[in-house]
Amino acid sequence: MAYRLDRTRRRPITVLSIAASDSGGGAGIQADLLTLAAHGVYGATAITAVTAQNTRGVFAAEPVRPELLLRQLETIFEDLSPAAVKIGALGSAANVRTVAGALGRWKARHVVLDPVLGASTGEPLLWRGLAVLRRELLPRCELVTPNVPEAEALSGVRIRGEADRRLAAGIIADRGAQNVLIKGGHARGGVVSDLLFDGRGFREFRHPRIVTRATHGTGCTLSSAIAANLALGYELQEAVGRAIRYIEKALRRGVFPGRGRGVPGHF
């Protein structure tokens, strides 16, 4: 697939992924780059943490020093001018502050935050930086995409039903996020409902649940797909809808590279 070009500059449309490296290739930076490439946009990266993991779990993780993370961000913004930014796991409160400051200085466009507080296998990744994320990073984001446990942590609301989910979305928006997409994958049932709140009203994206073990990296993939579609010029609701359709197709063609869980099939 050829890269889509920014017509004013005759360069590839670029999306910056700020996230952790997944040595198993299924999530984090690696999933982001695959998703961006599948959408025809050029992927730049700023690595926030290095992990030792495979399809069976995360066995070690170490955040990148804030000074090195800042150097990555500065060199990317001054040269590549990203059309959108996707943020995943940040690894430490210091890295949250570093990213928030850089986004403000460079007036970053279309910032999509996947607030990765823990790995899907249960390992904590950013719980100690939660307060800083709420205070300093949420106001920089056009969209934040928590799952239900992450939405509970960001809002302080125990989500037991639809009314709680809407309340949590409103609280997260009040804390600075322009738009909130609470993903419904953790709920039970044959239909998944992702809830988008734009500060004024709600929209539900309902789609059939795909029963598969190829789910490692789905949150990274969805947020990257939204960022790619925003960079390509789609309005937010259309970008979200297109990204959801992309992840559905990727789940249906999931692959199993190891002896544990599989990953979405991007191509």
pLDDT in tens, 197-237: 999 999 999 988 898 999 999 999 999 999 999 999 999 99
**Residue 15, token pair as written in the block:** 């999306």
Q: 170 catalytic, yes or no? A: no
Pick the catalytic residue: 88, 129, 219, 262? 219
In this predicted structure, the answer to whether residue 151 has a pLDDT above a threshold of 50 is: yes
Q: Is 86 a catalytic residue?
A: no
Give yes or no: 215 in active site. yes
List Cβ neighbours of 103 (8 Å cut-off, separation of 6 or more). 85, 111, 137, 140
In a domain, 259, yes or no: no
* Inside any domain, residue 266: no
User: Over the stretch 242-259, which tens digit does the pLDDT of each residue have?
Assistant: 999 999 999 999 999 999
Residue 193: left if φ>0, alpha if ψ -120 to 50, beta else—which one? beta
Q: To the nearest 10°, the Cα dihedral for 7, 266, 226, 252?
A: 140
Given 220, 221, 241, 254, the catalytic residue: 220
Give residue-wise pLDDT tens across range 30-84: 999 999 999 999 999 999 999 999 999 999 999 999 999 999 999 999 999 999 9
Q: Is 261 part of a structural domain of the chain?
A: no
121 pLDDT above the threshold of 50: no
183 part of the active site: yes
Whether the predicted pLDDT of 130 surpasses 90: no
Q: Where are the alpha helices (DSSP H) in 106-217?
A: 130-132, 148-155, 162-174
Catalytic residue selected from 218, 241, 254, 262: 218
Q: What pLDDT, on a 0 to 100 scale, did the predictor assign at position 122?
A: 43
- 43 in catalytic set: no
User: Are residues 220 and 32 in contact, defined by beta-carbon separation less than 8 angstroms?
Assistant: yes
Q: How confident is the model at residue 9 (pLDDT cuts 50, 70, 90)?
A: confident
**Domain range holding 94?**
5-252
The answer to whether residue 132 is domain-embedded is: yes
Q: Is 150 contained in some domain?
A: yes
pLDDT of 134? 92
CATH, residue 228: 3.40.1190.20
**Confidence tier at 179 by pLDDT (50, 70, 90):** very high
218 is catalytic: yes
Residue 1 has pLDDT above 70, yes or no: no
Q: What contacts 211, CB < 8 A, 6 or more positions away?
A: none
Catalytic residue among 55, 129, 141, 183: 183
Residue 94 domain-assigned (yes or no): yes
The answer to whether residue 265 sits within a structural domain is: no
Out of 35, 215, 221, 241, pick the active-site residue: 215
* Candidates 88, 217, 241, 262; catalytic one: 217
- The total of other beta-carbon atoms located within 10 Å of residue 104's CB is 12
* Predicted pLDDT at 187: 66
Instruction: Give whole-number Cα distances, 68 to 33, 84, 155, in Å.
Output: 21, 21, 31
Q: What total number of domains does the chain contain?
A: 1
pLDDT digits (tens, 9 = 90+) for 84-120: 999 999 989 999 999 999 999 999 999 999 998 865 4
